[in-house]
Amino acid sequence: MKPFAYVNAANEKEALAALAQAARGKILPIAGGMDLLAMMKDYIAQPDRIVNVKGLDQTIAATSDGGLRIGAGVRLAELAEHPVARRQYPALTDSAAEVGTPQIRNVGTVGGNLTQRPRCWYFRNEEFDCLKKGGSRCFAVDGENQYHAIFGNGPCYIVHPSSLAIPLIAYGAKFRVAAASGEKTVDASEFFVTPDKNVQVENVLNASELVTQVTLPPPGQTRSAVYEVRFKQSHDWPLAMAVVVLAMAGDRTVQRARVVMGAVAPVPWRSAEAEQALSGKTISEETASAAADAAVKDARPMTENGYKVQIARTAVKRAILKAAGLPVPAFTV
């Protein structure tokens, strides 16, 4: 880790002020610190100054329309256990409960989870001067890409790392983005940017901005679920995950669906095809299967990650079944 100066911002205002003059990469916010400190230890991030933003909003509160507002400073462990959030947005709280380990969830924040950097091993190892670090090539293209993207057009093939982003997009959340100069609201679905737009960042934030709050619309008549496939049942990253939110017309028929996949593309990957396939249908093994097929129809795997197509397909199918309250295959306990 390079030496750096530390600013302990007591609240949002101080945090934003401290970030106001930030040049990209030179002043960075720290909340839980899990991601940032690891990057700094590996010399991937080398800020001159870091700003403690743990003083951001740490509350979860109902909105007047029956939705929920979640402060960016809320810890993942608290979100996972929040009774209202669990009732209204189970895919979000289940996703939060699956992040990392207890120790990570005890310090990791909602804002940090959304803005963490990708885990791509070429990005994370100093020896590889990859596109994301300002280099001239993506090492994954003809390298070890078994965990890389099966969707997207490059030129960088990271998979999006935030497990919360997937349900938040599926539920139609909005992010409050603030800077010293003012604030704005950004749709979760518009927040993340693909590498063909800007390969060195993963979202719309400039260096002075922070996500300070997340607002979820009222759930209405929805059923929702997340299904995550990971190899190690202890600590591991998902090979693929899917969140399905079904707006129901009556008890059985899907009026509208949202299907978003994680760990398969550089950004959370929404499948209009799968959503279309579910619209107006009654959920069954067959309709879930057809929607899952639709979800991965346009997948374009790399040299080593064709297997992820099947895994993403399974994640979508099982998320649909789970959301509909139908049985999902599972290992015996």
Partner 1 sequence: MAKWPSSPELLGKRIPRLDGPAKTNGAAKYSYDIQRPGMLFGRILRSPHAHARVKSIDLSAAEKAPGVKAALAVIEISPDSKVMYQGDEVAAVAAETEEQARDAARLIKVDYEVLPHLATVEQAMRAEAPRVFKEGNVREANAQEEGDLEAGFKAAAHIVEGVYSTQVQTHNSLETHGCVCEWEGDKLTAWVSTQAVHGTREGFATGLKIPQTNVRVITDYMGGGFGSKFGPDVQGLVCARLAQKAARPVKLMLDRKEEHLATGNRPSAFAKVRAGVSADGKLTAFDAETWGTGGAGAGAGFNPLPYTTYVWPARRRRHRDVYINAGAQRAFRAPGHPQASFITEVVMDELADKAGLDPLELRMRNLPPEAPNAMWSKYFPMAAEKIGWTKRHKTGDPAAGPIKRGLGCAANRWGGAGNPKTQAHCDIFADGSVVMKIGTQDIGTGTRTMVGVITAETFGLPLQAVKVEIGDSNHPFAPGSGGSVTVGSISPPVRHAAENALAAIAAKVAPALGGADPATIVASKGRVHVQSDPSKGMTWKEACKLLGTETISVDGTWQKELATVGTSGVQFSEVEVDIETGVTKVKKIVCVQDTGLILDRLTAESQCYGGIIMGIGFALFEHRILDRNTAKMVNPNMEWYLLPGPSDIPEIDVTIVDQPDRGVVGLGEPPTISTASAIANAVANAIGVRIRSLPITPERVLAALQQDKRGGTL
Partner 2 sequence: MDRRDFLKTVSAGGIAAGVITPADAEAQTGGRALGPGAVPIRLNINGRTHTLEVEPRVTLLDAARDRLGLTGLKRVCDRGTCGACTMIIDGRTVYSCSSLAIEAQGKTIRTVEGLAPAGSLHPVQQAFCNHDALMCGFCTPGFVMAAVALGEKNPKPTREEACQALDGNICRCGTYVKLLAAVMDPKGGVRG
Where do contacts with partner 1 occur on this chain (CB under 8 A)?
1-3, 119, 121-122, 125-128, 139, 142-144, 146-147, 229-237, 239, 304-307, 310-311, 314, 317, 329-332
Q: CA–CA separation, 275 vs 70, rounded Å? A: 27
81's contact among partner 1, partner 2, none, with CB below 5 to 8 A by partner kind, is none
Sign of CA dihedral 152, 155, 156, 161: negative
Nearer to partner 1 (CB atom), residue 230 or residue 256: 230
Q: Using CB atoms within 10 A of its CB, is residue 49 exposed (0-12), middle (13-18) or buried (19+)?
A: middle
Kindly give, in sequence order, each residue whose CB lies less than 8 Å from that of residue 252, ignoring residues fewer than 6 positions away.
282, 283
Nearest-approach distance from CB 19 to partner 2, in angstroms:
10
260's contact among partner 2, partner 1, none, with CB below 5 to 8 A by partner kind, is none
127's contact among partner 1, partner 2, none, with CB below 5 to 8 A by partner kind, is partner 1
Sign of CA dihedral 122, 127, 131, 136: negative
304's contact among partner 1, partner 2, none, with CB below 5 to 8 A by partner kind, is partner 1
Nearer to partner 2 (CB atom), residue 58 or residue 194: 58
Nearest-approach distance from CB 229 to partner 1, in angstroms:
5
Nearest-approach distance from CB 333 to partner 2, in angstroms:
7
Tokens representing 23 are 């040049």
Tokens representing 212 are 């300070």
Tokens representing 245 are 């939110």
Nearer to partner 2 (CB atom), residue 14 or residue 273: 14
Q: CA–CA separation, 177 vs 173, rounded Å? A: 13
User: Which amino acid, one-letter code, is at 36?
Assistant: L
102's contact among partner 1, partner 2, none, with CB below 5 to 8 A by partner kind, is partner 2
Q: Are 79 and 85 in contact (CB under 8 A)?
A: yes
Nearer to partner 1 (CB atom), residue 280 or residue 306: 306
Nearest-approach distance from CB 235 to partner 2, in angstroms:
6
**Of 175, 188, 164, 190, whose CA–CA distance to 91 is shortest?**
164
Nearer to partner 1 (CB atom), residue 128 or residue 171: 128
Nearer to partner 2 (CB atom), residue 9 or residue 199: 9
63's contact among partner 2, partner 1, none, with CB below 5 to 8 A by partner kind, is none
131's contact among partner 1, partner 2, none, with CB below 5 to 8 A by partner kind, is none
CA–centroid distance for 319 within its chain: 16
Nearer to partner 1 (CB atom), residue 1 or residue 249: 1
Dihedrals phi, psi of 229, to nearest 5 degrees: -105, 120
